[in-house]
Amino acid sequence: MNYFSLNHKAPTVNFEEATVNGIAPDKGLYFPESLIPLDKLMLETIEFMSNEQIAYEVIRQFVNKSIPKKELRKIIAETLNFDFPLVKLDERTYSLELFHGPTMAFKDVGARFMARCLGYFNRNKKDQKIRVLVATSGDTGGAVAHGFLGVEGVEVIILYPSGKVSEIQEKQLTTLGQNITALEVDGTFDDCQAMVKQAFLDEELSTLNLTSANSINVARWLPQMFYYFFAYKELKPLHKKLVFSVPSGNFGNICAGMLAKSLGLPIEFFVAATNLNDTVPQFLKTGTYSAKPSTATISNAMDVGDPSNFVRIQQLYSNDTEALKETFTSFSFSDDETKKAMKEIYTKTNYITDPHGAVGYLGWQKIKEEFPDALGIFLETAHPVKFLETVEETLSTKIAIPQQIKELVINNKQSIKIKNYDELKLFLKK
Ligand SMILES: *Cc1c(COP(=O)(O)O)cnc(C)c1O
């Protein structure tokens, strides 16, 4: 299978080229040229398969000849070496916990898969390392850094705004060592991002093999399909229709779920639950897509005013919005509604959600009457400890600190302070 650019002005490429390029030369997102439905027998016998077997069957056609079978199996095994528990909250509501990876955020899976693919593609070029350059406002950087930790042939340079990330987030970025370097920028997240963009455009750095680990990369996007298959595997014996509610920012995760459906996974309906950044809910209401600057909320990993993966969702439905609406809707929720939901879930079931998961829960609540025969699964995308202050304040309770975080806090921070682009360039050239 090959990938074409959604801007239609760039050559078709294979999985390796799509992963290495990240974005097509015409600035379009890569999209699979063809989709082969999965074997019906596989879906009928899925409960007898391991997560690794499922993942392999699901991703195989997308990777195709770019990675040999044995190597792909190894990459999958290393990517998925933690659990994806489904927690029942009431007769019809489940939380799919995607936060049991090393940085306790669901982006671990995509980052780990992508890192290992890049490592494989660069296997014979040990003298010519790939350098991944990332700007982070906090959460993504940790997952990317950890995902790439120890991957041979790849060096990761993370730029983060000094004093503007939480203590836990900073520790996740700065204590890894090995092939990960944290640059602490005297400025804002926007400054970090501007410097990264400038580096990619800088002719003088063109020999350095710079690449990005952006969420639009196919190798980060596609493995997110796995979650939906894992949930289906557990719920299949109940013979119920399934509705997924996905807390959405860049809409990559939900788009992967919809791709899973188009491969044959029987999912009845999708809800994209957003915070106040309501570009997509507005689009469904008015028919006009208008990107806007992002608004800060307590579910800050979803503060996105122009969700990059929405064009992929539209493509899946041949840009037919009416057809899309038959399986998809999107609602926006305020911070107050989110906090109220966190309290409600905690009071009723003793379950603690983070603000992102709570937005997902709200999406299901809003639609559940329309699907009286279905079970609702909301994706819990981050461990509550990652949003400690908000969670403890909202629920007036203390949450237990997981071992991963305890170990983190005692490690020493190591960062290199930089003030401007010239200093970044100097660092990269040495
Ligand atoms: C990135 C992120 C999201 C949003 O996922 P998208 O694929 O960008 O829609 C939701 N929750 C958390 C915790 C995240 O880190």
pLDDT digits (tens, 9 = 90+) for 198-257: 998 888 988 888 888 878 899 999 999 999 999 999 999 999 999 999 999 999 999 999
Atom nearest to 256 CA in ligand 1: 7
Backbone angles phi, psi at 22, to 5 degrees: 75, -70
- What proportion of the chain, given as a percentage, has pLDDT over 90? 74
> How many C-beta atoms surround the C-beta of residue 45 within 10 A?
11
- Does the structure show a pLDDT above 90 at 427? yes
Q: Rounded mean pLDDT of 184-189? A: 90
Atom nearest to 272 CA in ligand 1: 9
Atom nearest to 252 CA in ligand 1: 7
Q: pLDDT band at 403, cuts 50/70/90?
A: confident
- CB-based pocket (< 6 A), ligand 1: 105, 107, 139, 215, 247-253, 301-302, 356, 381-382
Q: Which residues have CB under 8 Å from 213's CB, separation 6+?
A: 111, 114, 115, 132, 134, 144, 147, 148, 156, 220
3-state helix, strand, coil in the chain (%, to 5): 50, 15, 35
Helix axes 139-148, 167-174, angle to 10 degrees: 20
Distance, CA of 412 to CA of 410 (rounded, Å): 7
Look at residue 209 in the predicted model and tell me its pLDDT: 83
Q: Which two tokens stand for residue 302?
A: 């979803």
Give the Å distances, CA to CA, from 108 to 89, 148, 313: 25, 10, 22
Look at residue 338 in the predicted model and tell me its pLDDT: 98
Look at residue 126 in the predicted model and tell me its pLDDT: 67
Pairing mode, if any, of strands 30-32 and 3-5? antiparallel
Q: Which two tokens stand for residue 17?
A: 């080229």
Is-catalytic flag, 430? no
Look at residue 32 in the predicted model and tell me its pLDDT: 98
150-167 pLDDT, tens digit each: 988 889 999 999 988 888
pTM value is 0.93
Look at residue 140 in the predicted model and tell me its pLDDT: 79
Ligand 1, atom 15: closest residue by C-alpha: 301
Catalytically annotated residue among 70, 107, 343, 429: 107
Q: Rounded mean pLDDT of 293-321? A: 92
Domain ranges of the chain: 83-102+221-400
Find the 283 Cα to ligand 1 centroid distance in Å.
Answer: 20
Find the 248 Cα to ligand 1 centroid distance in Å.
Answer: 6
- Does the structure show a pLDDT above 70 at 405? yes
| β-bridge partners, 86 | 96
Atom nearest to 249 CA in ligand 1: 9
Find the 108 Cα to ligand 1 centroid distance in Å.
Answer: 11
**Does residue 11 come out as left (phi exceeding 0), alpha (psi in the -120 to 50 range) or beta?**
beta
Overall size of the chain counted in residues: 430
Helix axes 403-410, 167-174, angle to 10 degrees: 70
24-51 pLDDT, tens digit each: 989 899 999 999 999 999 999 999 999 9
Ligand 1, atom 2: closest residue by C-alpha: 301
Find the 430 Cα to ligand 1 centroid distance in Å.
Answer: 35
Distance, CA of 129 to CA of 285 (rounded, Å): 47
Name the DSSP class of 420. S
116-140 pLDDT, tens digit each: 999 999 888 767 888 999 988 777 7
Distance, CA of 397 to CA of 378 (rounded, Å): 23
Look at residue 430 in the predicted model and tell me its pLDDT: 81
CATH topology of domain 83-102+221-400: Rossmann fold (3.40.50)
Find the 253 Cα to ligand 1 centroid distance in Å.
Answer: 7
